[in-house]
Structure 1
């Protein structure tokens, strides 16, 4: 049974994307098509803020791209040396909140200690943070994308927890997306399921998938990696057959098997 995953490939220890590996273990032949490209911006401003941890209560990372922005800031050897010699440990005296295990793993790779990794979305992370934080005068530094949702900032500010957002990347459509979709449907046919991994993926892909599927659209089970993406699919009038309980290969596989009655 063929399933289509609209996401970037990520290598695991054996070189295979963990979603492809997990789905394959349960008889699902998964194909990945990258949907998004990212342009990083305001990196010097971001590093200037990272350079002054005393001005912040902690950090929030809700996507792997926000962590990648830190890596890009540290490509300069002098900045990397400052980070490794002093800044990293100063930040580690403060909370570093994350959404999801993938983001937590990247945060650990840059030497920070993540908290909240079992929170699968921004709303759950906000609830977790509110259970641990009290109103404070210093803001949490929140590097984010240009299309961020206001769920987390709204909840935190409602509890008197200060937040300072900084846009460090913006999202664009992958330059080969439309071609990749056409090639997939012409070579592989209509899949039994399509999983969206972001609202942007819904925006950039759904109309073409509906067109390419034609009369066979009713056989596709549409799935979402989380509630925000599920809302974006539903807003287009499409029924969501499966929403992963958390953004992991195991939970997505469980949800897909249930929706496909495997």
Structure 2
């Protein structure tokens, strides 16, 4: 049996766990992603990242927010302390500044994350993550509230549909936070093409299977029931039917009356 999954692909890459689990049960699963992400305000985000002295730390609750950091490092923008705009295509400028000074400065501050997938991406940026075992935003907020409150706001890059649990909990505890929307969900641009391709492939496979079945020679066991019944009763030919009839025992001849009558 075949199964079509309409969902986001696995964040860490590799085989999707749903596809793997269905395969273990003999099901052939195909995954078609239905959502994509559009990144927003990356130059503004870079400006905030380039001024770590104005923040008490970072909060990441999704892998997409970490990806926004990577993309912001590739954007043209103003350098820290030099007041110049790098030329178009100078994508290594921000990365070099990040590696030389910004990364070390941010590492002196707490970097809070939700989940192992997000923590793994944060570590690839050269940052030390904490709180990844919290599992969700509410648990992470509890973790942050249990620490010494920062004097400066925590920088929170997030999506357009962010939950309000974490910001509200921090606000209730008097912990300052500054959020910036860096991505939003949009329909996947290739969903229609992928669906058309999938159904076209299934139709072709179904037509090929029907053609193979139609080209097979007829089996004697596929004859109609009435024909099989007649064949089993009378044989496959008139001679066989005659032979079968002659093999049946005949009725005994009529017996003579008793006692015998006298002849005249």
Range into which the TM-score falls when normalised by the shorter chain = 0.5 to 0.7
CA distance in 1, matches of 2:15, 2:21: 10
Deviation readout 1:212-258 (Å, 9 max, x if unpaired): xxxxxxxxxxxxxxxxxxxxxxxxxxxxxxxxxxxxxxxxxxxxxxx
- Find the counterpart in structure 1 of residue 131 from structure 2: 116
**Partner Cα separation in structure 2 for residue 124 and residue 27 of structure 1:** 38
Query: For residues 25 and 53 of structure 1, do their structure 2 counterparts lie closer, same or farther at Cα, with a shift above 3 Å needed?
Result: farther
CA distance 1:7–1:87, change in 2 (3 Å): same
Residue 6 (structure 1) aligned with residue 4 (structure 2): no
Q: 2 CA distance for matches of 1:130 and 1:27?
A: 47
Structure-2 separation of matches of 1:185 and 1:128: 48
Aligned to 1:72: 71
Q: TM-score, normalised by structure 1?
A: 0.63
Q: Which residue of 2 aligns with 1:45?
A: 44
Distance 2:198 2:108 in 1: 48
CA–CA separation in structure 1 for the residues paired with 2:36 and 2:199? 22
Write the deviation string for residues 22-70 of structure 1: whole angstroms up to 9, x where unpaired: 6645666543221212111111111111111111110011111111111
Q: Determine the structure 1 residue equivalent to 2:119.
A: 104
* Residue 153 of structure 1: aligned partner: 167
Q: Check if 1:175 corresponds to 2:189.
A: yes
Show the counterpart of 2:144: 129
CA distance in 2, matches of 1:22, 1:109: 29
- Equivalent residue runs for 1:150-229 within 5 Å: 150-177=164-191, 180=194
Q: Is the 8 A contact 2:11 2:117 kept in 1?
A: no
Q: Which has the higher strand share?
A: 1
Ranges in structure 1 where 5+ consecutive residues have no aligned partner:
189-262
Kindly tell me: are residues 53 and 11 of structure 1, through their superposed partners in 2, closer, same or farther at Cα, counting changes over 3 Å?
closer
1:54 matched to 2:53:
yes
* TM-score, normalised via structure 2 length: 0.62
| Higher RCO (CA-CA < 8 Å; seq separation 6+) | 1
For residues 184 and 119 of structure 1, the distance between their equivalents in structure 2, rounded to whole angstroms, comes to 39
